[in-house]
A and B are shown apart, each in its own frame.
Chain A
Amino acid sequence: DQQVKQNSPSLSVQEGRISILNCDYTNSMFDYFLWYKKYPAEGPTFLISISSIKDKNEDGRFTVFLNKSAKHLSLHIVPSQPGDSAVYFCAATTRGANNLFFGTGTRLTVIP
C-alpha cells in the first residue's frame, strides 16, 4: 500500500521557467516531509524538508508547499536550470520514526 504518491513520472520545463513537482500522501499521521534529488548512478540527496506546522519552506530557488487538508505537497524550483535535471523523490514520516516512506519519483528535465 503506497502511502506517498507522485503521479507524474516525468516533467519537462524550459530553462528559466518554474518547475512544479507534486506529491500526495494518504497517512494523516505523517508530520514531516522531505524532497530528495537523485542523479543517475547516485543515491538520493536530501534537498529540502517541511514540518506539518508550516505550510511553506524556502531555500534559495527551492520552495516546498504543504497543504495538510488536501494531503498534498509540492516542490517549486524557480528559475529552473539544466543542472536541476534529475529524479525527485517525495518522502514522508512521523517524527521520531526512523522510517521514510518514499514516492516513486518524478523525472525532471530542464531544457536549455
Chain B
Amino acid sequence: DTAVSQTPKYLVTQMGNDKSIKCEQNLGHDTMYWYKQDSKKFLKIMFSYNNKELIINETVPNRFSPKSPDKAHLNLHINSLELGDSAVYFCASSQETLNYGYTFGSGTRLTVV
C-alpha cells in the first residue's frame, strides 16, 4: 500500500503541450511538496502546501501551477511545456513538524521533445 503515489511514472510529450502529474498520500500528513531534480541531480523545492494552502512557492515559471483539492492530493499542472522542463519531479509529504523528513513518491520522469 503505497504511502505517496505519483502518476504517471514516465511522461514524454512535445514542446508546447500542457500536462499534469498527480500525487496522492495516504499518511494523513498535513504538508505536501513538489520537488524537481534537474540534470545535475540537484533536488530543489518548487511548491509546498499545508492543509490545501500554498505556503512555499519558489521561483518557478508561472506555467507551473499546483492544485490541491484536499490535503491528501497535490497535483502539478504544467502549461506550454519547454525543453528545459525535462527533469524528474518528486512529490513528497510530511508532518508539519518535520521530525522525520519527507516521505517521497517514486518520481515522474518528464521528457519534453
Given contacts A98-B55, A104-B41, are A43 and B90 in contact (CB under 8 A)? yes
Given contacts A98-B31, A98-B48, are A89 and B43 in contact (CB under 8 A)? yes
- Size of the B side of the interface (Cβ < 8 Å), in residues, is 29
A-B contacts at CB below 8 angstroms, number: 61
In the complex, which residues of chain B have a beta carbon less than 8 angstroms from the beta carbon of A95? 98
Interface size class of A (residues with CB under 8 A): 20 to 34
> Counting CB contacts under 8 A, is B101 at the interface?
yes
Which of B14-22, B63-71, B72-80, B102-110 lies at the binding interface? B102-110
Q: Is the CB of A42 within 8 A of B106?
A: yes
Which of A11-19, A44-52, A74-82 lies at the binding interface? A44-52
In the complex, which residues of chain B have a beta carbon less than 8 angstroms from the beta carbon of A105? 41
* Choice from A41, A97, A100 contacting B101 with Cβ under 8 Å: A100
In the complex, which residues of chain B have a beta carbon less than 8 angstroms from the beta carbon of A96? 97-98
In the complex, which residues of chain B have a beta carbon less than 8 angstroms from the beta carbon of A89? 43
Where the two chains meet, the residues of B that have a C-beta atom closer than 8 Å to any C-beta of A are 4, 9, 31, 33, 35, 40-45, 48, 50, 55-56, 90, 92, 94, 96-98, 100-107
Minimum-distance CB pairs A-B, first 8 = A43-B104, A102-B43, A46-B101, A34-B101, A104-B41, A43-B106, A44-B104, A98-B48
